[in-house]
Amino acid sequence: MVVRVPEELIERDPAVLAPAAGLVHLSDAEPGIGRRRRGSGFSYHDAFGAAVGDDVRARIEALAIPPAWNDVWISPHERGYLQASGTDQAGRKQYRYHDDFREHCDGLKYARLPYFGRAVVLVRRAIEQALTEPVGSRSHAVAAAVALIDRCLLRVGNHGSAEKGHYGATTLTVEHVIDDDVMTLEYTAKSGQERTVVIDDEDLVAILTELASDADDELFWFDGDAAGERRRATASDVNDFIVEHAGPAFSAKDFRTWGASSVVVEARAAGSRPLDAVDEAADSLGNTRAVARNSYVHPVALQADDEQIDDAWRSSRRSKWLDRSESALAKLLSTSASSTASPGE
């Protein structure tokens, strides 16, 4: 059993999303505008080598492309969904999207979130079952990684970033686990930010302790097919687990959106101002206030008035699979969806 989500909310192909946002689908594989260093600044030239006009230059400068980027490509079309791309100093590909494209994609992400309240229950049930498998099994390692992402809102991580010293859940090593009086994870996250994550869930502490005690290096390890072979649970493993048990609409990223929005609801129910609540969410994510507010917290969690927050909180209870803040968020999202539905729905 998986959660069924309308197909239009699952779409991830830019060739479909760009026109839906009123934009042009033009990728950086096609001819574009290049950037050349000129003294203390840059000049910009089209695919034929001609310098761009003042209007185009103004558009480019408004994108605030970092000077340190290399291999910069800039869209020749002001309505291109992708406005610029380049490679940062760490060798990572970076992108600048049109504001309308970001807004459209964020809208889809937030429209999926009410469905995630059911999806997260299915995933947690699957985690509980998989963690009964022996340590060293693939299912145990993957479920443990998903549990950490779920409970501590870590990014999933990938091998390429880890090679550059930036870690997520699946690329953590035993060196990142500090097990003193309280278990913490200390590591360098995306954008070089140093993170310290306190783990206060006793079950998760026990799982991580057992994995770390037998690990060679990678925290989420499992035995390979060959004798003595050790393998690491990957981002693909994690997302495949989520898709298998919740459906193709969801990925590891949704846990951060769901978790941040739940934190805001709980903080507001306790009397915090919306911006202070966002600060709490940002702290749980390891992000700035601006990133948390613009990229993770569902607008309803901020736009609901105090009475709506209180009503959702009072009518919610903790259950085995959802804590009270999550139940309150689900009620808030459900109420909002009902109030904005058209009369024919």
**pLDDT tier, 338 (very low <50, low <70, confident <90, very high otherwise):** low
d(CA 197, CA 101): 33
Please tell me which residue, 52 or 338, carries the higher pLDDT value.
52
Virtual torsion, Cα 119, 287, 220, 320, nearest 10 deg: -40
d(CA 181, CA 200): 11
What is the token pair recorded at 171? 């690329």
User: What is the average pLDDT across 260-274?
Assistant: 98
DSSP 3-state of 22: coil
**pLDDT tier, 255 (very low <50, low <70, confident <90, very high otherwise):** very high
Q: What is the mean pLDDT of the chain?
A: 94
Q: Are 84 and 56 in contact (CB under 8 A)?
A: no
Q: Are 119 and 3 in contact (CB under 8 A)?
A: yes
d(CA 55, CA 260): 39
pLDDT at 43 over 70: yes
Percent of the chain, pLDDT > 70?
Answer: 97
What DSSP element (H or E) covers 34?
strand 34-38
pLDDT per residue as tens digits for the range 211-223? 999 888 999 999 9
d(CA 70, CA 60): 15
Question: DSSP letters of 64-119?
Answer: ---TT-EEEEE-SSTTBSEEEEEE-TTS-EEEEE-HHHHHHHHHHHHHHHHHHHHH
Count H helices, E strands: the chain?
14, 10
Going from the N-terminus, what domains does the chain have, and what CATH number goes with each? 34-97 (3.30.66.10), 118-246 (3.90.15.10), 253-329 (1.10.132.120)
pLDDT at 339 over 80: no
User: What is the average pLDDT across 257-267?
Assistant: 98
Model pTM score: 0.90
Question: DSSP letters of 149-190?
Answer: HHHH------HHHHHTT---GGG-BGGGEEESSSEEEEEE-G
For 42, phi then psi, to 5°, come to -140, 155
pLDDT per residue as tens digits for the range 160-200? 888 888 899 999 999 999 987 789 999 998 878 899 999 99
User: What is the average pLDDT across 275-303?
Assistant: 96
What is the token pair recorded at 317? 């209870």
Strands 70-74 and 41-45: unpaired
What DSSP element (H or E) covers 42?
strand 41-45
The amino acid occupying position 136 is G
